[in-house]
Amino acid sequence: MKFKMIHENYNVKDLQKSLDFYREALGLTEIRRKVAGDESFIIVYVGNEETGFELELTWLRDFDRPYNLGDCEFHLAFETEDYEAAHAKHAAMGCICFENPSMGIYFIQDPDGYWLEIVPAKK
C-alpha cells in the first residue's frame, strides 16, 4: 500500500493577507476554493507548477483569537534553485525569523506565525 502527500492545512486569520504573503514570498497562487453555504469558512488551496502538493489555507469566520502554534516546531520546507536571491527577497520583506548558516537554511514566518523552511536545491 502506498500513500501520496497531497496537502497540508494552515488556519489563517486574514485570508487575503495570507494569500498575498504566499504569492509574494513563495510564488504560490490559488488553485481552487470552497466556501461554506453559510459563509462560516473559506478554504483556499494554493500551489505552483513545481509540484502537485498544495497548501490549504482555511479561514474560519467565528474564530476570534490568534491560532496557538505551540513552539513552532512544525514547518513546511521549500527548495529553491537561487538561495541567495530568495534570501535577499525574504530579508527585504522582513519575514526571516530564524537562520542557521552552518546548515545553510533559514526560516520565514507567515502572517499567522507559521514557519516555512527555505533550503537550497541539492547539487
**Number of domains observed in the structure of the chain:** 1
Q: What is the pLDDT of residues 80-90, one digit of tens each?
A: 999 999 999 99
Does any domain span residue 83? yes
Does any domain span residue 68? no
Does any domain span residue 70? no
Given a cut of 90, is residue 1 above it in pLDDT? Answer: no
Would you please indicate which residues are annotated as catalytic (active-site) residues?
A: 117
Does any domain span residue 69? no
Q: What is the band of 68 on the pLDDT scale with cuts at 50, 70, 90? A: confident
pTM for the complete prediction?
A: 0.91
Given a cut of 80, is residue 117 above it in pLDDT? Answer: yes
State the Cα–Cα distance between residues 24 and 11, nearest whole angstrom: 19
Does any domain span residue 2? no
Cα radius of gyration rounded to whole Å, the chain: 15
Rounding to the nearest 10 degrees, give the CA dihedral for residues 113, 30, 52, 104.
Answer: -40
State the Cα–Cα distance between residues 19 and 104, nearest whole angstrom: 27
Q: For the domain that residue 81 is a member of, what is the CATH number? A: 3.10.180.10
71-110: burial string, b at 16+ Cβ within 10 Å, e else: eeeeeeebebeebeebbebbeeeebbeeeeeeeeebbbbb
Span 55-75, mean pLDDT? 89
